Structure 1
């Protein structure tokens, strides 16, 4: 007896809507109307006998079943996409899709990408962005760089490096508050908060028995956090590679000697556990490990 499979156009609609979290954006990518995309999603749900999305106004979120089914759909679509077709292999351009946190992409990846192209001009790189700690499902990318605790079940996870975190502030902001001569003087300062750089580990190193701040400006992007420090919104935690140019220009200054040697979050290279990676993907992974794993990166 033949097994009735879900329509491919419904699967691609489901994958796009899950990736963007929006029917409207997914419809634009697929060059169809939002109503047509909604119809395809309903068709898939009728075929499965399960809801894959929870709809709340204009926003959509995956159901628990939808999250599990998404992994299956992405694997199936990737298998079809990667299957070598006769007569096309010689014409197909090698490419690697990599997803990065915005700050890593801006301050660390882009300045070094020319090194990879100089070594491998035959490989195209496609860059996608995601917000750390918010979306932890591997997208259709071949490789991801994640900033987090490194706990990603069923994925190959390799730590790139660890940088100490330390406190910084702008000269303009420092002129508006009492002098910060020792860590406990921070009680007079505005502390900028971020789930990516919690204060608690730094407090412990600095000898302060303080709780994590629960009020004030919160920014869950390390680049924007540093920009907030630069523009005088308060004191924030950062790392050398992000702040180096601003420190050299005098836009921000480091405060105190205290630093967290091994912060709770670090950068990890992540990809799916596959029996064999495409050669260009393995080439890119090896370059990333070589370029970014050393703590003494130039």
Structure 2
């Protein structure tokens, strides 16, 4: 049976927090956010099954178990540090961890990322995916792009951009239900639902006093919603930069001349204040706004 090892990044976080006696100072030393450091400490406490720190307001002190475990951890880290490494003086590349929604990554970020890499070939970019509206705590990433209402307390939040939302379907689906001439004709259509693109704000703009649909296929991912529309499951809401290729080819058609110019959800850049002090993080955030400000 394989031996389960403690998470090494959590061991270094534990040692730094014990040495400084403060999570904020330890996080600054490790170039991570205080919330990320707290997450690592929790991981280690779950691994050992004991409390490592006694938290009293803003102060933290080692528990009795934590004091004993610290000696073991320091000895292990010292062994790793003292091991001879012939290439140890090779400078590490700066790196930045980005967490983004899947659809944003696929349709908007990755097609444009080469431009950032050409500007900053020395910066390593690591991309992770999150689920919009569900992953609401800042992860161990340096920067997140979130799709939501922009209400994220205790972290810096800047709107990246928003796009109008409009209704689309395949021509064959529209023909199959006898055509759609006015928004009111949607009563005979299947409306695909998503918490990310609610129908009710669009109904108001279209002059329809209708409640939010409560039946029918629901997909809480914008990419999956677009795929379901393309597959002919019904009518859905989308945005220009997601559906541009399908609209240009005629695979999808925009229905009616109705756009929700300010949808309830938009893209926001969120990060801890100390993260942007790192040059590579500042460079990426600046590039994001330069790239998407004209969308």
What is the rounded CA distance, in whole Å, between the counterparts of 2:207 and 2:151 in structure 1? 29
SS in 2 for 1:259: coil
* 4+ long deviations beyond 3 Å: 8-11, 44-50, 87-90
1:132-154 Cα distance to aligned partner (Å, 9 max, x none)? 00111111111100000000111
Instruction: Label 1:42 to 1:223 Cα distance change in 2 as closer, same or farther (>3 A).
Output: closer
2:43 matches 1:43: no
Match of 1:249 in 2: 249
Partner of 2:10: 12
Aligned-partner Cα distance in 2 for 1:39–1:89? 30
CA distance in 1, matches of 2:186, 2:102: 29
Deviations 1:167-192 (A, max 9, x none): 00011211210210000000000000
What is the CA distance between 1:90 and its match in structure 2?
5.9
**Distance in 2 of aligned mates of 1:11 and 1:45:** 18
Cross-structure match for 1:292: 292
Unaligned runs of 5+ in 1: 1-7, 16-37, 51-86
Gaps of 5+ in 2: 1-5, 14-42, 56-86
**Residues in 2 aligned to 1:111 and 1:137: alpha-carbon distance in whole angstroms:** 27
> Over aligned residues, Cα RMSD in angstroms?
2.5
Q: Is the Cα–Cα contact under 8 Å of residues 160 and 292 in structure 1 kept in the other structure? A: yes
2:176 is paired with a residue whose SS is coil
Matched positions, count: 230
Cα shift at 1:45: 3.9
* Contact 1:193–1:216 (CA under 8 A) maintained in structure 2: yes
Paired residues of 1:99 and 1:127 also in contact (CA < 8 A) = yes
CA distance in 2, matches of 1:291, 1:118: 14
Whole-Å separation in 1 of the counterparts to 2:284 and 2:9: 29
Distance change in 2, residues 1:202/1:88 (3 Å): farther
The aligned residue for residue 150 of structure 1 is 150
Bigger-Rg structure (1/2) = 2
TM-score, structure 2 as length reference:
0.73
Q: State the shift of 1:275 in Å.
A: 7.7
Distance 1:146-1:39 versus aligned 2 partners, 3 A rule:
closer
